[in-house]
Amino acid sequence: MCTHIPALEERGFMVTLDKHIWQIAPVDGDHGRSTQIISSMLEMAHSLHLPVVVEGVETNEQANVLRQMGARDAQGFLYYRPMPAKDFEALLDGGNNN
């Protein structure tokens, strides 16, 4: 298995944590296990030098908690709503339409 990790990295693979994974609501008796699972997943990906993108971040509170767990990159409604490709290109172009 370990020999496959560099090959995946060379091919541009990354780990994504979908909001359905990380938005696990703590249950009575959970004792922080949900948080530990997410934190461990982030640690494992980082130790393998695989980039991680956390998807579905909608609030500052979520962003802060995930950042404290070691998440470096995220996407979601907190940052931008879905938009047409033309608007996205304009955003990347700094708002210029040339």
Which comes out higher in pLDDT, residue 3 or 73?
A: 73
Arithmetic mean of pLDDT, 30-44: 80
In angstroms, the CA 15 to CA 31 distance is: 26
Q: Which residue from 2, 5, 82 is spatially nearest to 49, judged by alpha carbons?
A: 5
Arithmetic mean of pLDDT, 30-48: 82
Which are the contacts of 10, defined by CB distance < 8 A and separation ≥ 6? none
> How much of the chain exceeds pLDDT 90, in percent?
13
**pLDDT tens profile 45-92:** 889 888 888 888 888 988 888 898 889 899 999 999 989 999 989 988
Residues known to be catalytic: 55
